[in-house]
Every structure is written in C-alpha cells, then in structure tokens.
Chain A
Amino acid sequence: MKAIVSVFARDSRGITAYVTSLLAERDINILDISQTLMQEYFAMIMLVDLEACPLPFHELAEWLKRKGEERALDIHIQRSDIFEAMHRI
C-alpha cells in the first residue's frame, strides 16, 4: 500500500533526519520526498511504500503522531488514493 506522510513544523532543523529514521525503523520505503516553506511553516511530503511495514495502518498512524508530538511536529499518514481521487481524472 502506498501512502502520503505529511509533516508540518515551525522549524526545519533536523526534521528530515528525525522523520526518515522513524520510517526506516518501521521498514517503510520512501519513494519520493518534497519539502517546502509556507510562511514560517516547514512542510515535508513523502510518498512511501508500506509493503514491508509490520504495523497495522492505524497503529502506525498513532505511533507517528505520538513520535511527532515529542518533537513538536505534526505528522500525518494517509493512503495516497485520496489525493489521486481528488486531483486526477
């Protein structure tokens, strides 16, 4: 299953390293990555493959959210279908 991981934060120091190591810890493969600054906010979007991830989706989502909160990051994971459905005919 492919999913989109989105990360929002006020500051960008060390975030990419922190989040990618979280994903590696759970055997999640990053297929694509994009970073952007929106006003003072840092936004990172990753397309990931969950094929090898041992955790059920909702547990993974909760774990990422919790790990994000430890560093004042807002981390969401959603199946990529929703973005395709909304923006692609």
Chain B
Amino acid sequence: MSYLMNSSEILQTIEMIDQQHLDVRTVTMGISLLDCADPSVERCAEKIYEKLCRRAERLVPVCVGIEQEFGIPIVNKRVSVTPVSIVAASCLDENYTPIAKALDRAAGTLGINFIGGFSALAQKGFTESDLRLVRSLPEALTETALVCGSVNIGSTKAGINMDAVRLMGQIIRDTADRDPMGCAKLVVFCNAVEDNPFMAGAFHGVGEPECVINVGVSGPGVVAHALKNCRGERIDVVAETIKRTAFKITRMGQLVAQEASRRLQVPFGVVDLSLAPTPAVGDSVAEILELIGLERCGTHGTTAALALLNDAVKKGGIMASSHVGGLSGAFIPVSEDAGMIRAAEEGALTMDKLEAMTCVCSVGLDMIAVPGDTPAETLSAIIADEAAIGMINSKTTAARLIPAVGKAIGDRVDFGGLLGSAPVIPLHTGSAKEFISRGGRIPAPIHSLRN
C-alpha cells in the first residue's frame, strides 16, 4: 500500500476539512421510548430520562474519539426518540411539558446538542394524545432549550389533515408570542420520514429498531470549491462534478457511521446524503447555485439549478453508502445559509421563489422569518401550500416559520449559532381565513392508489 502515489488525494481530503468546511453534520442516535409508557406523566418522564441516560451514555465520548482519530469534525451529536404523542398516550395528564423537560434534562446530562421527537403523526387525524402533545408545544418548546418538536399533517397516502393545518398555524402563532426562538425548534411536515437525523424534524419512527445510529453528512463548501473549476463548461460537466464530490463526502459519512455503530454496539441505520449549509462564509447552498451561473440565488433559473444539484447529490451519494435514507438532498434553510440571507436581504429571494424551490429541494420552507403580526390562518395557509407540494410530488416537505414578534419586513432576526440570522421577508396579505376555517381533510391524490 503506497501513499506516495496518492499524496494529492490526501492533501485534497485535508484541504476539504481545513478550508472547505467538510464535516459530519450529525451523528444521531434513535432510541425507542415505547417501553416508557405510564399513566402518570411524571413517572413516564422519569422513565424516559433514565432510559436516555442509559442508552446514549457513550454517544458523545465515542463521537469525540472518532473526531480525534479520523480528524473529521462531527458538528452535532443528537438523539431522536419515538414520537412523544405515542409514548405518552396512556398518560392521564393534559400537558406533556414535563416530558419535554425530562428530554431537555437528559440532553443536558448527555452533553448532546439537540433532542428530537416531541412529535405527533396526525396526517389522517388526531388521537387524543396527539392533541394533548400539540397543545403542549408552545409551553414545551419555550421552556426547554434543546428539545425539538414536529407534527406530520399530511402524506401522499393519507391526504392533508386540514384540521391539523389550522391548529398548527395557531400553535406557531402562540409559540412565537411566548418566544419566537421556540418556532425554530418546530417543524410541520408532510411525508415525514422516520429515520431523519437532522433537526428540528428528527424523530425515531415506530418501524425503527430499539436503537439505531443515523448519520447526516454535509459539505456545500466542498461542492462549491469543485464547481469553481467548471467555469464555462456545459451543464453536464457541472452535474458530473457534483456527483463525484457527493460521492467523496458520503464515503466519509459512511465510514463515520460504521465506526460509531461498531463502537457503540448499536446498529447502523442510514446515511442522509445532504448538503446542509451553515451561516459560515463558504458553506452555502446558495453559493453553489450562484456558481452554476446565477447572478443571485432566487432569480429565474434557481429552481432548475437546485433540481440539478439535488439530484446529483443523491446520484453521487447513493453508491457511497450501504443504506441511504432520511431526507437526502440539498437543504435550503434561509437563516442558516449566508448566501440565502444575502439574497433575501437584497429582495432577490422571495417567499414565492422559496416555495417553488421546495418542489425540488430535499425538504421545504426552512428557517424563514415572517412578519411578527402574521395571522395564524396565513401561517396555516403557507403550511397547506407546502404540504400540497409534498403530497402531490410524493416528497417530504415541511414548514419551519418564525413569526418575528415586534419586527417588520426587512428587520434582521438573530437565532444564534448554527441557526444563524434572517431578514423578515414579506408575505402576501390576502386572507385565506375562509379556506383554513373549513377544516376537514384534503383527499389523498389519485397516484396514492398504487397497489
């Protein structure tokens, strides 16, 4: 085995990590809490705390060991749990906040960055427990620091639960009125996936094993760097370059996933082939789109460029990993991407263009600051539009909207850390009140009947 021949490859890898922000974005341990049910919410919370501390005790030290030995940063260590509305279904209490606090306490003890799964799956309708969980969200998310919640309100198979859409608009509104930061930890999904390692939407699905390791890779900076050598080339060359780069990025994610799985003696679930940006300069999905040839992200051509990027990331990554899952594709969180922030501030990136982009990106409307006085029914209508795109196109879509209370269009909102900052962007002002107040269920599309 001679490395003399390959010093340029070694240097390339080192350069990717040192200068192009290559990292493993998250190692997420999924843990089933189905055995923690109890009629008392306090006892249920205690069981959850105890189980998490036992199961995930070695997660952080093992990840730190891998970082040190392989020289690759693992930015986040996280835990996802069974949707709490299922775990707590036998609780007699109305408010599930004590469970959120137990999750938060466990996250603190374990030293992880976030814990996800304060969630409900209500695509076809609410159980009583789903409703209790959803009504607990404003308090639970604003009185905890590390707990993330999500609600699935639609799917290609089930249609869209418009009662849930209406309620979630109100819940986002209520959460924002307590503390807008709470909304940064709340995702409303259509076609939610059970093995997503990324926050705020991670939860451990009921079809998953007792405990599992899922890994989310990243690397917009590496793709951007590779594209700098493609100026003037035909678009085929661009697609091929992205594929090759995604392959390399994913191979590293696969290695880390296998190593974490082996050391923790927990089965490996999936690698999520994602381009997840951060607010750092040079780690931006918008920059990639601009390198493909757009003067500014958000202008005409953005959707096509993003479609190419999203597809090429999957094609490059698929062969690099034995199991691919999660959301897999390019994320477009506005506040977490320096290029998106700039484009939104300049007015180049609008709500309507973002919605169009979610037809071809990996998830949906993500980390978007909207005017603080946006009515609940407008938030619901945005969720409905987004869910419709997911339902009809058989893809995951989501809305993570932050009504910036006390701020107006153009004001900047700071979320801190990886969540970044975003300008408040304008929405349409026509009311959708009558549409949203109808309630009911949008029937599943014809192509859901595939059997």
Q: Which of B2, B4, B65, B252 contacts A82 (CB 8 A)?
A: B252
Instruction: Determine the distance from Cα of A40 to Cα of B251 in the docked complex, in whole angstroms.
Output: 31
Q: Which chain A residue shows the least CB distance to B16? A: A86
Interface of B, helix, strand, loop or mixed by DSSP: helix
Chain B 65-80: CB-based contact to A (< 8 A → 1; otherwise 0)? 1001111100000000
Q: Verify if B11 is at the interface (C-beta below 8 Å from A).
A: yes
Contact with B along A17-42 (1 / 0, CB 8 A): 00000000000000011101010000
- Mark interface residues in B303-330 (1 if CB within 8 Å of A CB, else 0): 0000000000000000000000000000
The answer to whether B14 has its CB under 8 Å from any CB of chain A is yes
Residues of B within 8 Å of A33, CB to CB, are 4
A83 touches B68 (CB 8 A): no
For A9, what are the chain B residues with a Cβ–Cβ distance below 8 Å? none
B13 touches A83 (CB 8 A): yes
Shortest distance from the beta carbon of B379 to any chain A beta carbon, whole Å: 43
Q: Which of B3, B72, B252 lies in contact with A4, CB distance below 8 A?
A: B3
Query: Is A45 within 8 A of B251, CB to CB?
Result: no
Q: B225 CB to closest chain A CB, in angstroms?
A: 15
A80 to chain B, nearest CB (A): 8
Asked if A76 is at the interface of the complex by the 8 Å CB criterion, the answer is yes
Complex CA gap A33/B408 in Å reads: 60
Q: Which of A20-75 contact B (CB under 8 A)?
A: 32-34, 36, 38, 43, 45, 47, 57-58, 61
Q: Are A85 and B3 in contact (CB under 8 A)?
A: no
Number of interface residues of B (CB under 8 A): 22
Contacts of B1 in A (CB 8 A): 47
Bound complex: CA A6 to CA B12 (Å)? 12
Q: Let me know if B7 is at the binding interface, CB within 8 A.
A: yes
Known: A57-B68, A57-B69, A78-B69. A83 touches B4 (CB 8 A): no
Does any Cβ of A come within 8 Å of B9's Cβ? yes
- Is there a chain A Cβ closer than 8 Å to B10's Cβ? yes
Most buried by B among A57, A85, A86: A86
A82-B3 in contact (CB<8A): no
Decide yes or no whether B218 CB sits under 8 A from chain A: no
Query: Across the interface, do B13 and A86 meet the contact criterion of CB distance under 8 Å?
Result: yes
Contacting residues of chain B (371-417) with chain A, CB-CB under 8 angstroms = none
A43 touches B11 (CB 8 A): yes
Tell me whether A13 is interfacial, beta carbon within 8 Å: no
Q: Within 8 Å CB of B2, what residues of A?
A: 32
A11 at the interface (CB under 8 A from B): no
Q: Which residues of A contact B72 (CB under 8 A)?
A: 78, 82
- On whether the beta carbons of B11 and A45 are closer than 8 Å, the reply is yes
Min C-beta distance of A8 to chain B, whole Å: 9
A81 and B10: CB pair below 8 A? no
Residues of A contacting B6 in the complex (Cβ-Cβ under 8 angstroms): 83, 87
In the bound complex, residues from chain B placing their C-beta under 8 Å from that of A6 are: 10-11, 14
- CA gap between A83 and B69 in the complex, in Å: 12
B432 is an interface residue with CB less than 8 A from chain A? no
Contact call A34/B4, Cβ cutoff below 8 A: yes
Asked whether, in the complex, the Cβ of B252 is within 8 Å of the Cβ of A86, the reply is yes
Residues of B within 8 A of A57 (CB): 68-69
Would you list which residues of chain B between 239 and 257 have a CB under 8 Å from chain A?
248, 251-252, 254-255
A87 near B13 with CB under 8 A, answer yes
Contact B70 A82 (CB under 8 A): yes
Q: For residue B249, which residue of chain A has the nearest CB? A: A86
Known pairs A61-B68, A82-B71, A83-B13 / 7 extra A-B pairs, C-beta < 8 Å: A32-B2, A32-B4, A36-B7, A76-B71, A80-B3, A82-B72, A82-B252
**Across the A-B interface, the 6 shortest Cβ-Cβ residue pairs:** A78-B71, A85-B255, A34-B7, A58-B68, A87-B9, A47-B3
- Could you jot down 27 A-B contacts, CB within 8 Å? A4-B10, A6-B14, A32-B4, A33-B4, A36-B7, A36-B11, A45-B3, A47-B3, A58-B65, A58-B68, A58-B69, A61-B68, A76-B71, A78-B70, A78-B72, A80-B3, A81-B70, A81-B255, A82-B70, A82-B72, A83-B6, A83-B9, A83-B10, A83-B13, A85-B251, A85-B255, A87-B13
Chain A residues within CB distance 8 Å of chain B: 4, 6, 32-34, 36, 38, 43, 45, 47, 57-58, 61, 76-83, 85-87
B→A interface (CB under 8 Å):
1-4, 6-7, 9-11, 13-14, 65, 68-72, 248, 251-252, 254-255
